[in-house]
Amino acid sequence: MTKRIYTGCIITLLLMAAASCKKPDFESEQQAQATGTISDYLSNNFDLSLFGAAVRKAGLMDSLDKATASFTVMAPTNSALNKDSIFNAGDFDTWTKDSLLYFVRTHILPVKLFYGDIPLSSDNRYTNLNGVQLYFSRSTARNNTVPFAVNGVNVIRESALGTSTSLKFGATQLNGVVYPLLNTIKVYPGTVQAFLQSRPYFSHLIAGLKKFDYWERMGGDGPFTVYAPLDSSFERRGMTLDSINRMDSQHYDPVVFGGYFLTPNHVFVMDIAQLPPVTGVLSLPFQTASPNYKVIMCQSAMGSGVGVVTAASASTSSLVVVSANAAYPYGSQGTLFLGEQPGLLSLADMKGTYINYTCANGIVHVMADILVMPGKVTK
């Protein structure tokens, strides 16, 4: 009898201990506490008031007010829209109805997608209301400073609710989840070729791609990752449209313009934080269209730029760089993304400042300087 009582007590204590140590279900707690719809949340959250205005002008606020519906909304904050020169609701009046609707629908999925349901990997694809796939990247193992991004845009963490002690993502409402963003998601429905051609400030890059017979490839299947400097960047380095058109293609290694894209690659900056580390190497190399050179991007939280290096040096600690900033091979010491400030800048500190456009066959990253100096890649 004594033995039985003792055993029963032990079992009871173990069950009590297990119950006390059980981790709370943050999303269940959120659902239990949710009392309003996504429409209510957008209407009553000042930090999301501009996106709420866009939703209302696009005619989708009533849809997001249905308690029995299912949506996931990636909502750019007011500061995110300020980066796109949107400072008040009236600024949306200059947009066409179709462009505003496309913009809003880009940020909405027709399903409830909780943070915990997203696999721990990059490029998990989910289709938005436009029928376009967005890329969700989630990581906890290697770099907790960049745990969640959508199309390369950082998602803002939510404060813990209830008995939860850790930071989580997403504000759960009766009809879905709202994830606040530090930047707007920029999706272009055409190819990277069509995107570059639609922007007059990429004329120098286009001229170079044409000169070295890469331009027609940009309209193909890809995928492509394109690093696109503005015309002003080329001009600042003495490369005018006329001088590019007069370049002798036989005098330069093809990397002179073949170093501005990767294929077949689809690389967001935030994805780099989730790729397997290589001991002692601070950057990841990707093969360019030229066998002699590689594009490198940072592999650790020690910068966020892009460089082009000789293939022989890409796996060594001493990189032979051919960019405008040759003394600094990677990160914020290399070629910056447009919108970044000079200095040591980690992936976590980028906070959505860099600009990328997701196209039908790849990604275009807008750069603040050129990647290859012609004089350093002559044959």
Domain boundaries, the chain: 23-181, 192-376
**Is the pLDDT assigned to residue 23 strictly greater than 70?**
no
| Strand runs labelled E in 160-249 | 171-173, 176-181, 224-229
| Percentage of the residues of the chain whose pLDDT score is greater than 90 | 57
Choice between 100 and 28, residue whose per-residue pLDDT is larger: 100
Please name every residue paired with 366 in a beta bridge, in sequence order, or none if there are none. 228
172 band by pLDDT with thresholds 50, 70 and 90? very high
pLDDT of residue 123: 87
Choice between 120 and 15, residue whose per-residue pLDDT is larger: 120
What is the average pLDDT across 123-150? Answer: 83
**Average pLDDT in the chain:** 82
**Rounded to whole angstroms, how far apart are CA atoms 224 and 363?**
6
Q: Tell me how long the chain is.
A: 379
Choice between 368 and 216, residue whose per-residue pLDDT is larger: 216
* 55-112 per-position pLDDT tens digit: 999 999 999 999 999 999 999 999 999 999 999 999 999 999 999 999 999 999 999 9
What is the average pLDDT across 233-257? Answer: 96
What is the average pLDDT across 245-265? Answer: 95
pLDDT of residue 27: 53
**CATH of range 192-376; options 2.30.180.10, 3.40.50.2300, 3.40.50.1240, 3.30.70.20:** 2.30.180.10
**Rounded to whole angstroms, how far apart are CA atoms 184 and 103?**
9
pLDDT of residue 9: 41
Q: What is the CATH number of domain 23-181?
A: 2.30.180.10
Within this chain, domains 23-181 and 192-376 share the same CATH topology: yes
**Rounded to whole angstroms, how far apart are CA atoms 278 and 262?**
21
**Is the pLDDT assigned to residue 54 strictly greater than 90?**
yes
pTM to 2 decimal places? 0.83
Contacts of 2 (CB under 8 A, 6+ apart): none
Choice between 344 and 131, residue whose per-residue pLDDT is larger: 131
**Is the pLDDT assigned to residue 179 strictly greater than 50?**
yes
| Percentage of the residues of the chain whose pLDDT score is greater than 70 | 74
| Among 182, 159, 180, 136, CA closest to 30 | 159
pLDDT of residue 302: 45
* 298-321 per-position pLDDT tens digit: 655 445 578 888 888 777 666 777
What is the average pLDDT across 267-277? Answer: 71
Residue 375's identity, in one-letter code, is: G
